[in-house]
């Protein structure tokens, strides 16, 4: 019984930490939707000392290759979350959202950022969605993603 209880507590704590974008529309794209899609790569990074030194405690990424029809699903989620942004940079090309960089309202004491890049309007073959959480400022995250 104790092992079951301890396992349940660990599962709850890990889930809470892994899904920090909970309450956001983009939560619908992370954590399972693309697991069996060979054109997708999903990454979760947390507890990285180099990132912690820059004020970043968590990064979630999704990269899709040659599946631009998914932009029809993802883009409205991104723009819905982006509508609540504190600060943002948004670029459109040929009527499509090409780049969205949003500072979302903080979750407790942590800043949250959402970056969306659809390369199709510029002839590329990838869609990238990045969620970042930590104490880093908008300018710090902006400089890091430009590298």
Q: What are the pLDDT digits (tens) for 11-61? A: 433 444 444 566 899 999 987 889 889 999 999 999 999 999 999 999 999
pLDDT tens column, 75-98:
999 999 999 999 999 999 988 899
* The pLDDT of residue 79: 96
- Over 50: is that where the pLDDT of 3 sits? no
Q: Checking DSSP bridges between strand 126-134 and strand 56-65, what pairing results, if any?
A: antiparallel
List, in sequence order, the alpha helices (H) in 41-121. Answer: 49-53, 71-82
CA 9 – CA 85 distance, rounded (Å): 33
Residue that is written with structure tokens 């890990």 in the block: 14
Q: Read off the pTM.
A: 0.83
Spatial contact of 111 and 136, defined as CB atoms under 8 Å apart? yes
Distance, in Å, from the CA atom of 35 to the CA atom of 141, rounded to the nearest integer, reads 27
Name the percent of the chain lying above pLDDT 70. Answer: 85
């Amino acid at each position: 019984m104790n092992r079951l209880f301890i396992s349940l507590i660990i599962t709850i704590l890990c889930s809470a930490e892994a899904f920090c974008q909970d309450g956001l529309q983009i939560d619908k794209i992370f954590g399972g939707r693309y697991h069996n899609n060979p054109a997708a790569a999903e990454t979760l990074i947390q507890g990285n000392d180099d990132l912690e030194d820059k004020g970043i405690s968590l990064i979630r990424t999704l990269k899709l290759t040659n599946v631009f029809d998914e932009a029809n699903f993802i883009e409205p989620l991104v723009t819905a979350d982006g509508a609540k942004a504190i600060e943002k940079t948004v670029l459109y090309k040929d009527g499509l959202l090409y780049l969205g960089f949003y500072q979302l309202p903080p979750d407790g004491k942590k800043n949250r950022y959402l970056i969306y890049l659809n390369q199709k309007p510029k002839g590329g073959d990838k869609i990238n969605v990045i969620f970042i959480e930590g104490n880093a400022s908008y300018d710090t995250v902006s400089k890091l993603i430009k590298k």
